Amino acid sequence: MKRSTRGCGCAIAVLVLLLGAGGSAWFRWGRPWWNSRPPKPTGELRVHVLDVGPVEGDSILIISPTGKSVLIDAGDAGKGKVVLDALKRYKVERLDYFIATHPHTDHLGGADEVLNVTKVANVIDNGVDLSTPAPPPPASKTLKGKVAPPPPPPAMKSKVKTVNSFFDEYQAALKLSGAQYERAEPGKKYDLGGGAMLTVLGPSEPFFTKEQMKAGGNETNANSIVLRLDYGAFSMLFMGDAESQTEERLLGKKDLDLEAKLIKIAHHGSKYATSENFLKRVQPQAVIISDGLWNRYGHPAQPVLDRLKAANAKVYRTDLHGEVTITTRGKGEAGKLYEIKTATEPKEDIWAGREAQKDDSSRSGFIAYGDFGPPPKPKAEKPKKK
């Protein structure tokens, strides 16, 4: 008696259809999900928040587990040597990325020194152009059909610094460096290797204007590049000189992952940033404040330190701790996810803010010019006459 094979053919056809549908679903949804998973951490990631004081400034060196390196800002004018010494100390012969968070001299002043000496593959900034306009060429004149004499040779470059000299020097060094330039794009990710990923969170357009900063702060600061570093279970935010307006814009993006273990605090601990709402969203375990012992702007501000204390965050300050180094393997080892080491032990109370002698907003106009030398000593009170 022959067996019927009609049912087998139908079953095989159904199986083929199911396998085809499953394969299609995998390529459409499963494969992108699988590829988007963060790779497992391998090796040690290091973050060095450099001490570019004693006036003010930011410069942060990231070295990935595979040796890729990122320099975020380069300190004030004249601080390029401090950054170059750090690169030499950590055996960084080539920078994969140099990121200029915003064009203020305390972040970009030393960039030309770094770019002139170090091989840099990629340079990223926020696209704000402060270049000094070139003077128009002299108009040629003729007198009664005679050809005018050639213009005199260009004058030697003036040694007198202008407000934006640091930016002109940065642009000139960038052109000579041969580095690939790009403008920061929110959402763009940079694979640093070994499982470490750097993501651009800001600035987003439209850029903040001076009119939007009437409550305090500075529009150039508010348009800083904001970055997020992820490595396994470790995460850290780099806030540049972002203001509270920047933080509010980030908080408005509900799908944006802002929770992080560490923060490099915005604007050197300015009173115009690090809002209570922002800290509640981020929930940092520790924060690093890059500030200068001689700064005259009240950095870090007492209200900011009070908010950090209320948030139970550990505080590290370059004015008191010197260079701050964070190391992690992206996973907990012996109960620790990361380790923080400082160059020195603080001799002052880390929870005591500084008294401001100048307002750190655009109203004063001091930010572009910079501020050099130790702060003036307080005047001794004259004895009252009896």
Give the C-alpha separation, 342 to 287, whole Å.
13
Inter-residue contact 258 to 227 (CB < 8 Å): no
- What's the confidence (pLDDT) of residue 153? 47
Sort strands 119-125 and 314-317 into parallel, antiparallel or unpaired: unpaired
- Type of residue numbered 210: K
What pLDDT, on a 0 to 100 scale, did the predictor assign at position 155? 42
Per CATH, domain 40-131+160-369 is 1.10.357.10: no
CB 227 within 8 A of CB 201: yes
What pLDDT, on the 0 to 100 scale, is given for residue 178? 96
pLDDT values of the chain reduced to their tens digit, one per residue, 386 residues: 555 555 556 667 666 677 766 666 656 666 555 455 555 677 999 999 999 999 999 999 999 999 999 999 999 999 999 999 999 999 999 999 999 999 999 999 999 999 999 999 999 999 999 887 666 655 555 445 555 555 554 444 444 466 789 999 999 999 999 999 999 999 999 999 999 999 999 999 999 999 999 888 999 999 999 999 999 999 999 999 999 999 999 999 999 999 999 999 999 999 999 999 999 999 999 999 999 999 999 999 999 999 999 999 999 999 999 999 999 999 988 889 999 999 999 999 999 999 998 888 754 444 444 455 566 565 556 666 65
| pLDDT at residue 346, rounded to an integer | 96
Number of alpha carbons in the 13 Å side-chain half-sphere of residue 133: 3
> Which stretches does DSSP call E strand in 29-179?
45-49, 60-63, 69-72, 94-99, 119-125
First-to-final CA distance of the chain: 133
Residues 110 and 74: beta-carbon distance below 8 Å = yes
What pLDDT is stored for residue 224 in this prediction? 98
Domain ranges of the chain: 40-131+160-369
pLDDT at 69: 98
